[in-house]
A and B are shown apart, each in its own frame.
Chain A
Amino acid sequence: MAAGLWHIREVSVLNIRIKFQKYGVMKFIGHLDMMRYFQKAIRRAGIDIAYSGGYSPHQIMSFAAPLGVGITSDGEYFDIAVNSTKSSRESIEALNCAMAEGVSILEYKKLPDTAKTSMSLVAAADYLIYVKPEYAPSFLPQEELQGKIQEFYKGQPEILITKQTKKSQVEMDLKQFIYQMKAGDTPEHASGTLFLRVCTGSSNNIKPELVLETFCQFCGLTYQPAMFQIQRLEVYAKSDEIPVKGEKEQKAYRDYMAQLKASYEKQGKHVPEFLPLGALGEDIP
C-alpha cells in the first residue's frame, strides 16, 4: 500500500499487523499454543506491546485465522497493539532472533488507528496441497489431475456434501465456497499438486481438508489425510470491505481504492477481489 496513506495521529497505542511463516516441525503446534508461543516471543524480542487493563493484564494480540495442526503456512497473520515501536526492519530482526526453527517473521506493518482486526476481515485463503515425498507418487499425475479437477470443479453445477453438525446432518453446496481450484505447477513435487482458494473466516470457514476429501471421493481414491501436505499460502480480506472504522480513514481507503482501480484499468485489468491482509498496513521506516 502506498506510503503515507495512513497519517500518524497522537494516540496511546499503535496497531501492528505481523505476518509469519510456519513450517517444519512447528506444524504440530496447535493454534492456542502458537498464541502462547508468541506472547513469550514478543517479550523475548523486547517489543513494547500494550497490555489490557484490569487485575490480570494480558497482551493485546489477536490472530487472523487459526491454522489446523499439520498444516504449514507462508501467510499467517496476527495483530498487536504497541506503545512504541522501532522500524519494521528492526522489529522483524528482533522477532526473528526470538523465533524457534520453523517460524519466521515476514512483515511487521503499521495499521491505521481504527483498523478492523485481521480476524474480522478474513475472507479467503490460498492453499497448496501436495503429496509428501514418502507417499509419492501415489496421487494422480499432473495431467490426469488437471482433467479430474476440470470434471469436479468446472464440470459439476454444484458439489453437494453432507455436513455433520451437533444436532443433524445438513446438505450444503461446497462449490460456492471454492473460489479457485486448479492443478498447481510446482515441479519440485513428484505427483500433481493442487491449488485452492476457499472461503475462510467466521461465517463460512471451509477447511481445505474438506475439499480434498470430497475431491478424492469424486476421483474414487481413498482419502488418507497423512499422505498430503497442506500449505497455506496467503490469507485475504475482500477488497470491497472497508478495513477501517474511522471516517477519515474510510475516506483515505476509498481514495486509495480509486487510485488502485485506475492503475489496474490502465493495464486493462480489474482490481483483485481479494487483498492479502498484509497489504492493508504499511512499513514503518
Chain B
Amino acid sequence: MRTLALSDEILLNIDKPARYIGNEINMVKKDPSTVDIRFAMCFPDVYEIGMSHLGIQILYSMFNQREDVYCERAYSPWGDLHKIMKERKIPLFTLETQSPVKDMDFLGITIQYEMCYTNILQILDLSQIPLLSSQRGEECPIVIGGGPCTYNPEPLADFFDMFYIGEGETRYGELFELYKSIRGQGGTRQEFLRAACKIPGIYVPSLYEITYQEDGTIASFQPKYEDVPAAVEKEVEMDVSHAPYPVKPLVPYIKITQDRVVLEIQRGCIRGCRFCQAGMVYRPTRERDVAVLKQYAQEMLKNTGHEEISLSSLSSSDYSQLPELVNFLVESKEQGVNISLPSLRIDAFSLEAMEKVQDIRKSSLTFAPEAGSQRLRDVINKGLTEETILHGAGMAFEGGWQKVKLYFMLGLPTENEDDMREIPRLADKIARRYYEIPKDRRNGKCQITISTSFFVPKPFTPFQWASMCPKEGYLARAKVVNEEMKAQLNRKSLKYNWHEADVTVLEGVFARGDRRVGQVLLKAYEKGCMFDAWTECFDNQKWMEAFQETGVSIDFYNLRQRELDEILPWDFIRCGVTKEFLTREWERAQKGQLTLNCKEACNGCGAMAYQGGVCLEHQN
C-alpha cells in the first residue's frame, strides 16, 4: 500500500482530500528506482481544473511510455492545505509516489492563463525550490514551462530555467536524452541549459541579455553567447493523426470541470480572427484522421467508463469529416453515454445533430459574434454576419430551442459607442425573431443571455500593438451596454452579464509584459496573492500595492499604442505567422477589411513553412 505525504489528521481536516491522494484509475505506477528521469508535471491550479486539461494527459501518457522516465503529477494545493504545508514545512509532493517535487529531475509547469502566474510561485515555494532560477543549486529540478502563455514567457523569465515553446509532442525525447547524457557524465545544470538551448523550441531565458531605451521600450534582446540561438522556433506536431494520444486517460474520483472523454479532432483554426492568439499560434490547421478518432472514442470510453464524450477544437464546424464523426458517435452510442458538441456553428447539420444528442428544452444555443456591429465584426475579421445569426437562431427557434447565449468583447480596437449599443440591439433582434413564431407554436418566453468580457491584446495577433483602456473605461462600456439593453423592446427576455475589470488590467500587463514585470508577481505573491483566477481569492488591493512598491507602471504596458518598429518582448520567438503578416492584418483591421479564411485562400501568413495541414490543401 502506498503511504501518503499527508497524515490522516491533515487529510481529514481539509476540503476534498481526494485532491491529494492520487490512485486514480489509469494512474501510472512505476518503481522510481528503475528510471533515469523523474518528471513532475504540474498544472498550477486546483486539482479539478488541472485534471481537466488535455495537454497534461497527452504528455503524461507520452512520457510514461518511455521506460527511462517516470512522469508524476502535482497541482496547486488549495488555500486550506497551503497554510498547513507552510506552517509545518511539508514540501509539495507528487500524487503518484507522494515524493517531494524538489527531488525530481524536472518540474514541468503548464502555463495556460495569466491569472495563474502567482500559483506558479506558490508551487515553487511549497516545493521548497528557490523562486528565482538564478538561485537554484545543482540539487534542484530543472523548472521548465510550456503552454500558450509561453508565447510571451518574459514576465516569468526569472522563475523558469527553460521554456518549451510550441507543441509538446516533438522535442521532449531529445531533451531527455540530452539530460541523461550530460547528467550521466556529471555535467552541471548550467552545462545542460547551455546545451538544451540548441534544441529547437527550447528557450533558456538566462542566456539572453535585454537592454532598454530611456522611454522604457526594449533597445536590444541578444543572446549572451555566440552559440546561443538568437531566435527560438515554435515546435509543431505535423502528423497529428499518428501523434501520441492518451487513450487511457486518468479518471478522477471527485467531480472535475471536464469529467468526460475528450477527442481533439483538429489543431489550429482557419478563421483568422484578429484578436485570437490560438488562431494564430496553432497554425497551420491540422485535422486528425476520422478513422483514428472513431477508434480513440471507443477505446477511451471503454478505458475510462466515462458517461460523456466531447469534441475539442477551436472551431469544430470547420473539421471536414465532422458529419461522419458525429453520425458515428450517435449511431454507435451506448446506453448512458452522452455526446457533447461544443463550438459548433449553428446550421442545419449542427441543429439536427444537437437534437439527437441533447435535450432541446434544457440546452441553449451559443453564438459568439464578439462584436455588436457589422463594422466592428469586420475589424476583428469575425466572418459572422447578422443575417447568419438571425437565420441560425430562427431555425433553432422553429426547432424548439428558446435559450440563446451571446458572447461579446468590449474594448476592441476602434470600438465606438454605437458598436457597444449594437450588442443589445442584436440580442433584441434575435428575440424579435423568436416572437415571430405564432404563440401556439412557441414555448413561452425566450431567454437571450448576453455576456461580455473585456478584450486583452495578445502577442502574435494582429492586435498585439493595440492599446487597452483604463479600468474605468471598461466599466463605462459595460454601462453603455446595460443602458441600451434597458431601452430594448424585448428587454424582459434579455439578460446581461459582465464582470469587474480589475483582472483585465492585470491580464493586459502580463500578456504583453517584459521581464521587468516579474518583480510585481514576486511582490504580489509575498503579499499573499494566489488563485487570482478565483473571484473569492482575488485581491486587487494587494496587486495595486505590488505595482506601486515595485514602481512598475501599468499604463506603460496597457495604455500605450506600440509602434510597429518597437522591439516587442516576444519578438525572438518564431511562431510561423510572420510579423509582416500581422502588420498587414493590423492595417487591414483599421480599414475594416476582411481577410479570407485558410480554406478559401492562402493569405501568406508564414505557416506554409511547416509544409502541412491546411496549407497543402491549396496545392491540389
| Beta-carbon contact of B9 and A226 below 8 Å | yes
Q: Enumerate chain A residues within 8 angstroms of B8, measured Cβ to Cβ.
A: 70, 132, 226
Most buried by A among B2, B25, B302, B336: B336
Interface 9-mer from B15-23, B323-331, B492-500: B15-23
Assembly CA distance A51 to B333 (angstroms) = 14
Least Cβ–Cβ distance between A173 and chain B, in angstroms: 29
| Beta-carbon contact of B1 and A101 below 8 Å | yes
Q: Is B315 an interface residue when CB atoms closer than 8 A count as contact? A: no
Least Cβ–Cβ distance between B47 and chain A, in angstroms: 13
Assembly CA distance A23 to B304 (angstroms) = 22
Q: Enumerate chain B residues within 8 angstroms of A28, measured Cβ to Cβ.
A: 11-12, 17-18, 21
Binary interface profile of A, 1-38, with partner B (CB < 8 Å = 1, else 0)? 00000000000000000000001111011100100110
Contact of B305 among A43, A101, A134 (CB under 8 A): A43
Q: Is B7 an interface residue when CB atoms closer than 8 A count as contact? A: yes
Assembly CA distance A58 to B307 (angstroms) = 10
Assembly CA distance A102 to B21 (angstroms) = 12
| Beta-carbon contact of A69 and B17 below 8 Å | yes
> Number of contact residues on B: which range applies?
20 to 34
Q: Is A212 an interface residue when CB atoms closer than 8 A count as contact? A: no
Q: Enumerate chain A residues within 8 angstroms of B302, measured Cβ to Cβ.
A: 44
Q: Enumerate chain A residues within 8 angstroms of B2, measured Cβ to Cβ.
A: 24-25, 101
Q: Enumerate chain B residues within 8 angstroms of A25, measured Cβ to Cβ.
A: 1-2, 4, 21-23
Q: Is B306 an interface residue when CB atoms closer than 8 A count as contact? A: yes
| Beta-carbon contact of A33 and B11 below 8 Å | no
| Beta-carbon contact of B336 and A58 below 8 Å | yes
Q: Enumerate chain B residues within 8 angstroms of A57, measured Cβ to Cβ.
A: 335-336
| Beta-carbon contact of B23 and A26 below 8 Å | yes
Closest to B1 in A: A24
Q: Enumerate chain A residues within 8 angstroms of B305, measured Cβ to Cβ.
A: 39-44, 98
Q: Is A170 an interface residue when CB atoms closer than 8 A count as contact? A: no
Least Cβ–Cβ distance between A72 and chain B, in angstroms: 11
Closest to A57 in B: B336
Q: Is B303 an interface residue when CB atoms closer than 8 A count as contact? A: yes
Assembly CA distance A44 to B13 (angstroms) = 32
Q: Enumerate chain B residues within 8 angstroms of A24, measured Cβ to Cβ.
A: 1-2, 23
Which residues of chain B from 1 to 48 have a CB within 8 Å of any chain A CB? 1-2, 4, 7-9, 11-13, 17-18, 21-25
Least Cβ–Cβ distance between B4 and chain A, in angstroms: 6
Q: Enumerate chain B residues within 8 angstroms of A43, measured Cβ to Cβ.
A: 301, 305-307, 336
Q: Is B534 an interface residue when CB atoms closer than 8 A count as contact? A: no
A25-B23, A40-B304 known; A134+B335 contact, CB < 8 A: no
Closest to B254 in A: A33
Q: Enumerate chain B residues within 8 angstroms of A30, measured Cβ to Cβ.
A: 18
Assembly CA distance A100 to B359 (angstroms) = 34
Closest to A33 in B: B253
Assembly CA distance A82 to B18 (angstroms) = 30
Q: Is B88 an interface residue when CB atoms closer than 8 A count as contact? A: no
Assembly CA distance A43 to B305 (angstroms) = 5
Assembly CA distance A44 to B307 (angstroms) = 11
A25-B4, A28-B17 known; A59+B336 contact, CB < 8 A: yes
A24-B2, A29-B253, A37-B253 known; A100+B336 contact, CB < 8 A: no
Q: Is B441 an interface residue when CB atoms closer than 8 A count as contact? A: no
List 29 A-B residue pairs with CB atoms under 8 Å apart, sorted by A's residue number.
A25-B1, A25-B2, A25-B22, A28-B11, A28-B12, A28-B17, A28-B21, A29-B253, A33-B255, A39-B305, A39-B307, A41-B305, A42-B305, A43-B307, A44-B25, A44-B305, A55-B359, A57-B336, A70-B11, A70-B12, A100-B24, A100-B25, A101-B1, A101-B2, A101-B23, A102-B23, A226-B7, A226-B9, A226-B12
| Complex A-B, nearest 8 residue pairs according to Cβ-Cβ distance, in ascending order | A40-B305, A226-B9, A43-B305, A44-B305, A28-B17, A25-B21, A33-B253, A24-B1
Given contacts A100-B23, A226-B13, list 5 more A-B pairs with CB under 8 A.
A43-B305, A44-B304, A44-B305, A100-B25, A132-B8
